Structure 1
Amino acid sequence: MSAEHEQHRLFLPLVFVGGILFGFGLGFSHMAQPEVVLSFLQFTDFGLLFVMFGAAIVTGVTFFGVERFRSRAPLTGAAYGRRLKTLDKNVVVGGGIFGVGWGLSGICPGAAYASLGIGNVPILYGIVGMFVGAYIQGFWRSTRAESSTPATTAD
């Protein structure tokens, strides 16, 4: 990293504080309780809609407003920029698999960790499943990439 893009010394402590705030918010809003999330997904409790709406407002203001006031991130010095992902087969299939997993477990990955904080120890099965699934997907992708690499004359 160049000197102009060096991280501020408060970067990691602020990330930690942000994580604590995020986890507390998930617990406070009951999003860390799979039963509440499943009730939302079954259209019987719409309370989480307000939580997501609040998060969307903060995110929208941040993503679309901060570039007007600052050209670089205050703690990292990196230039702001958006990385747009095209809507392709991988995004649709991966999103579908993620959604089915969320619906079956009643919890998304971030809330799963917060759920541990409220004493939901059985969620460890889901967390282990997320790690195993991510490992399998990474192994599958690397195997697929190796098999599609053309052979060279050195092979």
Structure 2
Amino acid sequence: MKGLKYIIAGILFGIVMSKSEAISWYRIQEMFRFQAFHMYGIIGTAVVLGAIATYLIKKFNMKDYQGNPIIFTPKEKSVPRYLIGGTIFGLGWALTGACPGPMFVNLGYGYWAILVAIVGALIGTYLYGVLRDKLPH
């Protein structure tokens, strides 16, 4: 029962994603074709809320679900790393019409074709784990 709040948070996340139409393939295509502001507004809101949440976590020295302090460690900035990673992520997002979070919301909606994207994402994650030590970071 300790994880119940995380299940509830996941359900609420799914509801917000579906009601905001962030899981819609058509909305995502509109964004990538610069035809509508809808998705940019959602992403911008998420960035602002994420910044506020990070500020509050740091200010109140919040802890994770196991009681450990949440620590933000700065990473080495590398423009090529971000450009390559962002390009790969963006291409996958544009081709599948879904980023990782909404993929599972689409599956919950019964869009079984998204299983192809989920399996691809899992294989890609596994391959990254296998090749991680050989990749530039």
TM-score, normalised on structure 2? 0.83
Question: Which stretch of the first structure deviates more once superposed, 39-48 or 59-68?
Answer: 59-68
Which structure has the higher relative contact order (CA within 8 Å, separation 6+)? 1
Higher radius of gyration, 1 or 2: 1
TM-score, normalised on structure 1? 0.74
One-letter identity of the residue aligned with 1:127: I
Structure 1: tracts of 5 or more residues without a match:
1-8, 146-155
- 1:123 partnered with 2:123: no
Identity, in percent, stands at 26
One-letter identity of the residue aligned with 1:80: I
Structure 1 equivalent of residue 71 of structure 2:
81
One-letter identity of the residue aligned with 2:107: L
Aligned-residue CA RMSD (Å): 2.2
**What number of residue pairs does the alignment pair up?**
134
Q: Secondary structure at the match of 2:111?
A: coil
Please give the alpha-carbon distance, in whole angstroms, between the structure 2 residues aligned to 1:74 and 1:134: 24
Structure 2 equivalent of residue 102 of structure 1:
93
- What is the Cα deviation at residue 44 of structure 1? 0.9
Please give the alpha-carbon distance, in whole angstroms, between the structure 2 residues aligned to 1:71 and 1:49: 31
- 1:49 partnered with 2:58: no
Task: Indicate conservation of the 8 Å contact 2:22/2:102, yes or no.
Answer: yes
Correspondence 1:1-155 to 2 at 5 A: 10=2, 12-68=3-59, 70-73=60-63, 75-88=65-78, 89-141=80-132, 144=134
Task: Indicate conservation of the 8 Å contact 1:26/1:32, yes or no.
Answer: yes
Please give the alpha-carbon distance, in whole angstroms, between the structure 2 residues aligned to 1:111 and 1:96: 19
Structure 2: tracts of 5 or more residues without a match:
none
- What is the Cα deviation at residue 57 of structure 1? 2.5
Task: Indicate conservation of the 8 Å contact 2:64/2:70, yes or no.
Answer: no
Please give the alpha-carbon distance, in whole angstroms, between the structure 1 residues aligned to 2:57 and 2:123: 37
Please give the alpha-carbon distance, in whole angstroms, between the structure 2 residues aligned to 1:74 and 1:124: 31
